[in-house]
Structure 1
């Protein structure tokens, strides 16, 4: 019995320490920049936070927006439109909060949890525990991004959220929002591998229409990532 009581005590202390540490990472939330970036007051300085594991279309015409348009065979106006919807959704998720809490991924410790632009890389939670990165993916307003290393448990959770949104056609994945035409000139059965694909449009045709699931090796809903990833 003493052993059980001791185990429970240790568990409660662990939870308490975790929550205490978690609370110390909460900062004043200022505003949303993009669907994947927010501004906070960090140690007295206005600082950008890049939400780990997600990527959204640009909400303004800039160099990256044009790059996204070329990569996805869309016009830049469509990219910006989708980006504005993603930004609006993130605003809605954080509308009732004056603070956000940051959880870091140890894979980014060597860069002090910053990217090359000086933005903090973090998983963002509301004070009551909602995982915002996951919510953006699950609601269908972001793509999964593994450019920055992710802890396996977080990557799996985010991957499942993204897969759920794609399979259930939520947010940007709704049929009515699918601006890229599925190639009328493609035929099922002629190709089987990503190296045979000439464009993201063609890869999407074989993946969605022909059901060639091998093109999506990591199961994130995006086939042939060298062609279809931003």
Structure 2
């Protein structure tokens, strides 16, 4: 196959995987044991006999408490109470999705500057198609898109 076409195919697959989960590569997926949900964009999984944080890539859910990050979300014209309310709703939505879909899959895409795993969570729909949970969370309106800066 032409190298140029191969590059285009890989780029399209990467885009689709990040956006709708069509190209989720089963070879890179693990089935984590979910320990608990920290907030809408961070989940603790059980990995090698200990709990490990996973930050969902591509989204930045509103905060669930008054912390240092909330000041960045104030720039969106929301009060602290509105931010925290949306953050708590995002957390509840994540819990709901994880409870509804018993088999959850994780594609690890990196490690962030807090030493958390970064990745994409998926579930399978009734037709067997992998659905990107990160994107499902973004659709709720409680988790704006976030572009990770890869400076680690």
TM-score (norm 1): 0.48
Distance in 1, matches of 2:58 and 2:72, equals: 20
> Does residue 137 in structure 1 map to residue 138 in structure 2?
yes
> Structure 1 or 2: larger helix share?
1
SS at match of 1:92: helix
Contact 2:57/2:148, CA 8 A, preserved across alignment: no
Moved over 6 A (4+): none
- The CA RMSD measured in Å over matched residues stands at 2.0
Look up the match of 1:122: 119
- Which of 104, 129, 134 is the aligned partner of 1:100? 104
Point out which structure has higher relative CO (alpha carbons under 8 A, 6+ apart).
2
Look up the match of 2:5: none
Alignment of 1:108-187 (within 5 A): 113-126=110-123, 129-148=130-149
**Offset of residue 28 of structure 1:** 0.3
Bigger Rg over Cα = 1
Look up the match of 1:47: 52
TM-score (norm 2): 0.70
**Offset of residue 39 of structure 1:** 0.7
**Offset of residue 98 of structure 1:** 4.9
Gaps of 5+ in 1: 1-17, 106-112, 150-230
**Offset of residue 142 of structure 1:** 1.4
**Offset of residue 22 of structure 1:** 4.2
> Structure 1 or 2: larger strand share?
2
Report how many residues are paired: 122
